[in-house]
Structure 1
Amino acid sequence: MIPGTSFTLVTQQVMAGSRVDGVRAALGSACGLLVHATFAAIGLSALVMSSAQVLTAVKLLGGIYLIWLGVTTWRSTRRGVRPMVRRRWRLPWARLGGFGQGLWSNVLNPKAASVYLTLVPQFLSSSRSIAPQIATLAVVHVAIVLMWLLFWTSVVAAARTAIDTPRFRRGTSRLAGVVLFGLGLRTATAS
């Protein structure tokens, strides 16, 4: 529930588009967590986290992706178009809009993977099969995150209707762009 990438993406999507766009970003973020839970259940996350080169590559990809989102969000304020709508070149998942942004921002986030490698094992019992236990914890985790992001989507949508001006939308898009850029730099350079 700590504000981060998913929080920023949901805010940006609602401010640039609508409540539905925020819901899509929240659902994408939740699906990204499910990807990490699946990776943890089959042991892939442990492999990635144990290999310095692979972990560095994931961090760099995640950081570059967030920086790209930040720059495109900032640039969209100049052109007056919604981010991800018109581009000379687009990422393959750009047509997925907020859902794709939420999904890939979590899939490429090594901190999301570390939750399933550091926090989840504390709640697992070695006397039972691991995969169902991880699945149960993942469902609870995703439910909490999704409830929080959907609540935040409603708050931002309500605030937007109260103070909806082009200047405010431009300012929040720029702020979201800066935050995404900063999160990308932090992700790419984290040790």
Structure 2
Amino acid sequence: MVHPVAVAGFLVAILPLIATPGASLALLVQHVTGGGRRRALPVVLGTVTGLYVHAALAIAGLSALVMHSSVAFTVIKLVGAVYLIGLGLWTWRSATPREAAPARRRPRGTDSVYAQAFLANVLNPKAAAIYLTLVPQFVTPAHPLSGQILTLATAHALLITLWLTAWSFLLARASHLLHTPRFKRAATRATSAILITLGIRAAVT
């Protein structure tokens, strides 16, 4: 069992990382803007699932293998970068106005939103690095690591859930803007720009 002080220290350490705009927040803005606050749920669930995947890999030692193999790490990083850039380009294309045929526009399925958020997190090597660089600082080797890592991952999941939920409420408060075509296009293109920038940054760093 992780000491409460260690959990609190871990949350303080990762808070700046969570607060830094990333793919999860970009996807949240895009989907809440397009479909309302309920669209935040699959984004949150996909992101949280990705965190548990990284935690499981850390427990199994697979993440350590990737981080210590420059080739494997580079492959994972490039795959994640390509995914983010591709998602950003697709998002930009989806911002093309189609006012002439509004009936043909369908809300994106929940499964698709969940998959986007999940892949954006799983394919981010920096998310894996949290469990390889920060987590070891807050666990006790004398106790089983699996339970400690899962406890920290759960605390991480709760914090990012609160963060994304707070953003979804803020976006919902601006509902009078969210339903204007101009704002939707601007938000979608801003989201795509963020995703492309994150992808390029992941590829070159």
Q: Is the pair's TM-score, using the shorter chain for normalization, greater than 0.5?
A: yes
| Amino acid across the alignment from 1:123 | F
Unaligned runs of 5+ in 2: 1-17, 99-103
Identity of aligned residues (%): 43
Equivalent position of 1:59 in the other structure: 77
Equivalent position of 1:117 in the other structure: 132
- Over the aligned positions, Cα root-mean-square deviation in angstroms equals 1.8
Equivalent position of 2:15 in the other structure: none
Q: Is the alpha carbon distance of 1:82 and 1:31 closer, same or farther for their aligned partners in structure 2, counting shifts above 3 Å? A: farther
1:26 offset after TM fit, Å? 1.4
Q: Is the alpha carbon distance of 1:22 and 1:83 closer, same or farther for their aligned partners in structure 2, counting shifts above 3 Å? A: farther
- The alignment of Structure 1 onto Structure 2 pairs a total of residues equal to 181
Looking at structure 1, the residues matched to 200 and 122 of structure 2 have their Cα atoms a distance apart, in angstroms, of: 17
1:15 offset after TM fit, Å? 1.0
The answer on 1:3 being equivalent to 2:17 is no
Instruction: Tell me the TM-score normalized by structure 2.
Output: 0.83
Looking at structure 1, the residues matched to 140 and 89 of structure 2 have their Cα atoms a distance apart, in angstroms, of: 44
Equivalent position of 1:183 in the other structure: 198
1:95 offset after TM fit, Å? 7.3
Q: Radius of gyration: which is bigger?
A: 2
Equivalent position of 2:13 in the other structure: none
Other structure's SS at 2:96 match: helix
- Determine which of 20, 30, 47 is the counterpart of 1:12: 30
Q: Is the alpha carbon distance of 1:137 and 1:71 closer, same or farther for their aligned partners in structure 2, counting shifts above 3 Å? A: same
Equivalent position of 1:36 in the other structure: 54
Unaligned runs of 5+ in 1: 86-93
Cα deviations by residue, 1:52-82 (Å, 9 ceiling, x for unpaired): 1111111111001000110011000115487
Runs of 4+ in 1 over 6 A off after TM superposition: 81-84
Equivalent position of 2:67 in the other structure: 49
Equivalent position of 1:90 in the other structure: none
- Asked if the contact 2:80/2:124 (under 8 Å) is kept, the reply is yes
